[in-house]
Structure 1
Amino acid sequence: MSSPTVSNHRISTMFFGGLAALAISTGAFAGPDEFGPGPLIEAYGQIAPVDADMMIPEGASFAVTFDTATRSEAETLNRTLTSAARFLNMHVANGVEAGSLRVAVVVHGGAVHDVSSATAGANADLIATLLEHNVRVIVCGQSASYYDVGRSDLLPGVEMALSAMTAHALLQQADYTLNPF
């Protein structure tokens, strides 16, 4: 007898001395306890092992841009910045050479405060760590102007662009793809 799958749960029927019992399992989903440090950036961007069907080809390289406009809550990390760390960690953990990964984060809107030395808070160490791993962090000059943040206000290594639109256009011309997450 096959076990039907309903809403990502497997339902099994078992018989005990003439009585039927239903058992529901959630399958092979990893919970939060399955996440741990990655091999490249241990402090940020936790990852979980995945039994994937879509394999990464040998010799693969990636050039990916992330985009963030939402400022993190006080004393929390910017989710997009941690996603950039997770991207690096999960690909290195799955055989991609670190040198074959080009990552950029374009920062605009209220997220400009997450890269300003006066207001970065918990993000300052994360940004320094990303920069150490050759991640480009690029600020929208228009947003920076709106929030009265100058180049000298940015954390060391953070770049200023004319605008987020300009940064994305130039990165796309350099063969970066925009990651929607």
Structure 2
Amino acid sequence: MIRFKTCVAVIFVLAMPALAGPDAFKPGAVVPDYGSYAPVPGTKLPAETRFKVAFDVAEAGPEDDINRKLVSAARFLNMHEAAGVPVENISLAVVVHGGAWKDLLTNKARGSTNPNATLIAELVAAGTRIELCGQTAAMRDVVKEDLLPGVTIGLSAMTAHALLQQEGYTLNPF
């Protein structure tokens, strides 16, 4: 019985670094103000690794806070760059439709401060493609001038995902 308890105690102590909690998360180098990640020891990726990943964002973020789905794209960039993948080997696209359309608007078009504006600017600066579904835009009377810099309007979210898939993008389910 003492041997069992000792083994359990040793396993628990060794697992402690993996259970570091929120303090383990740190900002990244690519999108420094968003997308904190927890480094995982021993998970270095080969420098020749390439990613082409699409994110689908349909739900709006809170009216006064950032959209967590947009933060996921920043986290993807930050953690993979830190794990050894050169940022030029990471291509991300964010396809926005449904209720998330408001998260792409300028302050003027939104009628209030857009808490996502800085995040979107940093994602665009990092090379992320952000496209609004044209069908959503038409339904909401959104025109190009209503959108934050770097955001485009496509024919539809369905079309965007089909074209991205043809370009070799995979859909991130998170």
Give the alignment's TM-score, normalised by structure 1: 0.83
Cα separation, 2, equivalents of 1:52 and 1:179: 23
CA contact (8 A) 1:30 1:48 kept: no
Q: List 4+ stretches of structure 1 deviating above 2 A.
A: 1-4, 10-13, 24-28, 55-58
TM-fit CA distance, 1:157: 1.2
1:121 corresponds to: 114
Report SS of the residue matched to 2:54.
Answer: strand
Separation in 1, partners of 2:101, 2:21: 32
Name the residue aligned to 2:164.
171
Structure 2 gaps of 5+ residues are none
The number of aligned residues is: 165
Question: Which structure has the highest strand share of the two?
Answer: 1
Counterpart residue number, 2:50? 61
**What is aligned with 2:133?**
140
- In the other structure, the counterpart of 2:20 is 30
8 Å contact from structure 1 (residues 107, 137) kept in 2: yes
Structure 2 counterparts to residues 1-181 of structure 1, below 5 A: 1-2=3-4, 11-12=8-9, 27=16, 28-52=18-42, 56-117=45-106, 118-119=109-110, 121-181=114-174
Cα distance in 2 for residues equivalent to 1:49 and 1:71? 28
Q: Which moved more, 1:84-93 or 1:118-127?
A: 118-127
CA–CA separation in structure 2 for the residues paired with 1:3 and 1:141: 61
Separation of aligned partners in 2, 1:42 and 1:129: 8
The CA deviation at 1:52 is 4.8
Find the aligned partners of 2:102 and 2:27 in 1 and give their Cα distance: 27
Runs of at least 5 residues in structure 1 that lack an aligned partner in the other structure:
5-9, 14-23
Structure number with greater Rg is 1
What is the aligned partner in structure 2 of residue 19 from structure 1?
none
Counterparts of 1:77 and 1:108 in 2: how far apart (Å)? 16
CA distance in 2, matches of 1:90, 1:61: 14
CA deviations on 1:92-133 (whole Å, 9 max, x unpaired) are 101110100000000000100000112261101111111111
State the 1:2 CA deviation. Answer: 4.0
Q: Give 1:3 shift.
A: 5.5
RMSD over aligned CA atoms reads 2.1
Q: Is the 1:106–1:138 Cα contact (8 Å) retained in structure 2?
A: yes
The code of the aligned residue for 2:154 comes to: A
Q: In the superposition, relative to structure 1, how do residues 3 and 167 fare at CA in structure 2: closer, same or farther (>3 Å)?
A: farther
* Aligned amino acid, residue 113 of structure 1: K
